[in-house]
Amino acid sequence: MRTTKLVRRLAGVEHTVVESVETEQAAGGVVLVVRVRPDRSARSRCSRCARRSRGYDQGDGPRRWRGLDFGTVPVLLQAGAPRVSCRVHGVVVAAVPWARARSRFTRDFEDTCAWLAAHAPGSVVAELLRVTWRSVRSAVARVVAEASGRADRLAGLRRIGIDEIAFRKGQRYLTTVVDHDTGRLVWAAEGRNSQTLGRFFDALGPGRAGQLTHVSADGAEWVHTVVRARAPQAVLCLDPYHVVAWATTALDTVRRELTAQLKAAGRKDAAKVLAGTRWALVRNPEQLSATQRGTLASVKDTNRRLYTAYLLKEQTRAVFEAKGEHGHTLLAGWLAWARRSRLPALTKLAKTITRYLPILRNTLDHGLSNARSEATNTHLRVLTRRSYGFHSPEALTAMAMLTRGGLCPNLPGRTAQLST
């Protein structure tokens, strides 16, 4: 194999002529500089629409793109960046076959970067690829923008879940739309109000909005109002996991109040014990460690009020697991029990749930299984907490679409099976 052909293969570039390969001493050590140019078929194309265009000028001279390392040696592709005059887009930099428009990285590099970002902590990606996290974010944004342009993500939606997710310590919000049938995130935008959600329905259009059969959401009234106006035929359901989350919050409120009462009564040791029961109480029973099961058993023996709150939390889960007729019976039982529990947090929750009873009944009747969308929402909440430094809603949305929207690229060059 000739060297230029070998280099072309290593660099993973197509429609590209390799002119020369040289080493160069850089600040961090030796780098490999590969001089390239687009071949005849890829030359003089608009970087925005790929239309063949008339040459304009030489632009700002040669540019460099970071490629995947050859072994341990960093690789830079170098080429001229002439400008062309596109009939539609005017004077723009000519497209290059090895990189996306406005990127300082090759396609393979960006795809690898995005794949890694979806699968590993940010610090690992940055260290392995020797890039800043800022570069990772912009690579993800370009990969996602390209992939979302390829497919209509809003086609064929029937059952969707609408949710809101806080980020930047609850200062800002994203409104998200998940497809219940695939579990995929199909739409996300900053904001949590009727205008934001209105933009989703604008993108969907009246025809496709008319095809929706079920829409689940939390208790937010503005969501219900928009859905009733834009997709009146869809059955509105209350997302079960929100109800379980409300009950969990109520349980925790009871625990904190009881702890405060003990402290006020001077029973510091007992207060400390109660403060330590939190995880045993709020976690799902099947996830408890042996110690936590012991903690739960001692709460049962020593603190009737707190244990009642715990059982009420668990019963909300049982309601949705049962669904249908049995679910209705359990729900009625839950409401009666919560109302006479004499636990303010729970009697208050009973009032809230009574208010949402019509759409809660829909959830039970239609058996809307939201395991997939719940997994997606849980994942998104984890994303917002990971040390990815999401300073902009765009970056967070792009990352969410990458990991939960089905837009993650394959690793470059992985068509053949090769395992050792």
Q: Which stretch binds Zn ion (CB under 5 A): 81-89, 172-180, 388-396, 399-407?
A: 81-89
Q: How many residues bind Zn ion (CB under 5 A)?
A: 7
User: Does the footprint of Zn ion cover residue 6 (CB under 5 A)?
Assistant: no
Buried b (16+ CB within 10 A) or exposed e, 32-41: bbbbbbbeee
Binding mask 36-55 for Zn ion (x = CB under 5 A): ----------x-xx-x----
User: Does the footprint of Zn ion cover residue 26 (CB under 5 A)?
Assistant: no
User: Does the footprint of Zn ion cover residue 372 (CB under 5 A)?
Assistant: no
Closer to Zn ion by Cβ: residue 44 or 148: 44
222 in Cβ contact with 197 (< 8 Å) = yes
User: Does the footprint of Zn ion cover residue 95 (CB under 5 A)?
Assistant: no
Q: How buried is 52 (Cβ within 10 angstroms: 0-12 exposed, 13-18 middle, 19+ buried)? A: middle
Collect all residues with Cβ–Cβ distance below 8 Å to 379 and sequence separation of at least 6: 403, 404
The answer to whether the Cα torsion of 324, 330, 331, 333 is positive or negative is: positive
- Contact pick of 37, 89, 256, 317 for Zn ion (by CB under 5 A): 89
299 in Cβ contact with 307 (< 8 Å) = yes
User: Does the footprint of Zn ion cover residue 94 (CB under 5 A)?
Assistant: no
Please state the φ and ψ torsions of residue 223, each to the nearest 5 degrees.
Answer: -65, -45
Closer to Zn ion by Cβ: residue 93 or 238: 93
Closer to Zn ion by Cβ: residue 92 or 407: 92
Closer to Zn ion by Cβ: residue 146 or 257: 146
**Bridge partners (DSSP) listed for residue 178:** 161, 185
- Contact pick of 88, 128, 151, 229 for Zn ion (by CB under 5 A): 88
**CA-CA distance, 159 to 330, in Å (whole number)?**
25
User: Does the footprint of Zn ion cover residue 375 (CB under 5 A)?
Assistant: no
* DSSP-H helix ranges across 164-220: 194-209
User: Does the footprint of Zn ion cover residue 250 (CB under 5 A)?
Assistant: no
Closer to Zn ion by Cβ: residue 49 or 73: 49
CB of 109 to Zn ion, least distance (A): 24
- Residues engaged in binding Zn ion (CB under 5 A): 46, 48-49, 51, 86, 88-89
